[in-house]
Amino acid sequence: FQKQVCDDIGRRLTVLGEAWAQGKLSAPVRKRMSLLVEELQQQHWDTADEIHRSLMVDHVNEVSQWLVGVKRLIAETRSLPTTELAVAMDGSTEAGPSQEGP
């Protein structure tokens, strides 16, 4: 990843994490984000992208500040070589929204 891309993704995911921790996300958004994290962990890029698109269509006001970061994360991880991908996925599984509860 380029540093600027990583920084942008990080900022947006921080906004997501704060909204999640503060209980500002609706149940449908939390559920879909949990599913999206599972799909990313299983490297199901197309399914993760579908979930991303459904969030943008159905919950645009709630997700607009951070969902672009999720989209970029999907695109960047999808393009990583397999060995780098394994390292990236191992590091990201512990901090994912699904680990913080429903």
Closest CA to 86 of 42, 32, 31: 42
The token pair at 99 is 């680990």
How far from 30 is each of 24, 35, 74, 102, CA to CA, in Å? 10, 9, 18, 7
Where do the domains of the chain lie? 1-79
Helix runs in 1-102, H state only: 3-21, 27-41, 45-58, 60-63, 67-78, 82-92
CATH of domain 1-79: 1.20.940.10
Cα–Cα distance, 8 to 31 (Å, whole number)? 24
65 neighbors 13 (Cβ within 8 angstroms): no
Confidence of residue 98 (pLDDT cuts 50, 70, 90): very low
pLDDT recorded at residue 97: 47
Query: How does DSSP classify residue 43?
Result: T
pLDDT, residue 62, reads: 95
pLDDT in tens, 56-75: 999 999 999 999 999 999 99
User: Which distant-in-sequence residues (6+ apart) come within 8 Å of 43 by Cβ?
Assistant: 85, 89
